[in-house]
Structure 1
Amino acid sequence: MAISRSRNKLVRLALITLHYKSFSSTTLRDLGNHREEDEDDEKVGFVRIPETAKTRAEIEEERRVNWFYLQRSPLWKGRAGSKEALLVVRELKRAKKDPWKLHVILSTKVDRLLKLDLIAALNELQRLEEVDLALMVFVVVRREPWYKPEAYLFRDMLNCLGRNKRAAQSRILLNDCKREGIKPSSSLCTELMVAFLKHGMVCEAIEVFEEVKAVDACDKLIFRILMRELLRLGRDDLWSKYRNEYEEAYGAEYEEYQFDGGALK
């Protein structure tokens, strides 16, 4: 009995040894094959890339956005714009010549921005003088559920339109401002009038001035700004007309004062 038991143990040990040797040999053989494949791939110039790896274009785009995000000044007062806002602005600029791509970006990416990011993107487009894109984003802003008519939104948009000589669109936006219950204040119309005058758009500036007069009594400041710029532009006929109106309105003679090269401060 003892001999048979010892024989059984020896048989078991022999089987275990053979199984281990066969497993280790196949494993080493597989590893060797993988190493040979890797070496062959490296010789040819292939690199094994995981399935979730980013493309070179995506990596470069992320690097540019990160650098731009860290280096530039804040987009909005007291708050730096997020990377999402910067990416949306970049994509809008790239797609502005393709109406279909522009529509897709506006409906899928611009609509999903948070309130502050959306306003930051709008301010950035205005700063870059991308007037058409800024108007599109402004329409999106006015469709948002959190939107409330604010004078500063219309003021910045009107200034952008005035700087780029968009008189017709300025009139439309000014009418929209009235329809939404915002009374065109003297400061709002003064900034728009100044933007027109700086680019020599005298007729448009006069229209804005007359509109202010019709809505509310003008103060001395807007009169002085208008006459100063008319004098700088060499429109003596209009300057004389509004000087007489100034004297009739305030009962005092218009006094000239010094200004630095016609620039408004």
Structure 2
Amino acid sequence: SAAALAGNILFFLLLQADRCLHTPMYFLLSQLSIMDLTLNGTVVPKMTANFLSGSKFISQGGCAAQVFLVVLVGGAECFLLAVMAYDRYVAVCHPLRYPMLMNWEACCLMTLVTWMVGVADSVIDVGVVFRFPYCGSLQVDHFFCEIPALLRLSCADTSLFQDFIYACCVVMLLLGVIVASHARVLTAVISMSSTEGKQKALTTCSSHLAVVGLYYGGGIFNYMYKASAGTPAGDRAISTFYTIFVPMINPLIYSLRNREVMRARKRVLGSWRV
């Protein structure tokens, strides 16, 4: 968790410090870092405090806040990855039209929509989940408040809401499969005459595909799996993957194989030495 926190903060500060990285692509990456920081900061501090103090209590308001923020970031990041895929598609397949199609106004508008979708999704989910009656044990068999873990404690029939969650996950998964296919992008890359341009485009696309695979492999499949049948131990393992591991690995994927980011790091470090 400390590595995820440090990695995303440093990556975000680097993107802000170097003017060469003030482009739509890196603006979208900065939003991804903010989302990962939000997700990590929502889950890890309370989990660490409970572990150190020995107390495993969380108030209803705190539980609702965790559900709200986790769902918000999950929905927003899903659509942000779609926007990032569209950005790469335009940059590779329509480079001459890129300044017009991905201008700052369009970029900021699409980013705002991703956050608004996340907020709308979380408001609906929190409103429904906390309207269910809960009886018996209120012990959440998880390390944070997550919708499927809470639904197990309800004494009402939640199957309809679980089907709704499953349907939403299927839609998001199909969106991810469509934007992650990159078929036309890869075709355009292969036909490039410039070796340097081809290598840069392939690096960017492969990095995005890796992040998409990690995200959809963790969060979306997690909710789809829980909507049908799952064990608490398996749920915790998958949730650990997408709340702690994925936010830690994302900045590494986009920085270690990106020459522009590495050059920016050298420039920023050089200016600090001066």
* TM-score (normalizing by structure 2): 0.24
Higher helix content, 1 or 2 = 2
Higher RCO by CA contacts (8 Å cutoff, separation 6 or greater) = 2
* TM-score (normalizing by structure 1): 0.25
Structure 1 or 2, whichever has the larger Rg, is: 1
